[in-house]
Amino acid sequence: MTDYAHSDHASRSREEKARRLAAYLWQREITGAELLDMPMAQRRKLARAAETNPPSTDETWQAVARLLDEKDAWAARHPAHPAARRDHADEKILWVKPPVKPWQ
């Protein structure tokens, strides 16, 4: 009996989903660390916003975080490249709240 979760088809499907999610999240300036810090319910909302079925395994989310880190590093090396431009960075606040600064 074949274990679907570890088949070649499942692996390709996970990679494709991770790429779709990473592309959506990168445009919103969400980092791999920020993604992994999010509660699972929020990650599922993000996936639905990206018009992607939420991953059922943490393995896929880890792949998304790795892809985000790789794209960040690439963009830092190629800042003038059109693919290094984020078109929806202003939407980050919808997903990642800035730290609350204490009153002075």
Q: Considering the entire predicted model, what is its pTM?
A: 0.85
Whole-number Å distance between alpha carbons of 27 and 21 = 10
Alpha-carbon distance values, 10 to 15, 17, 36, 56, 64 (Å) = 9, 10, 22, 12, 16
User: Where along the chain do its domains lie?
Assistant: 9-95
pLDDT in tens, 14-53: 899 999 999 999 999 999 999 999 999 999 999 999 999 9
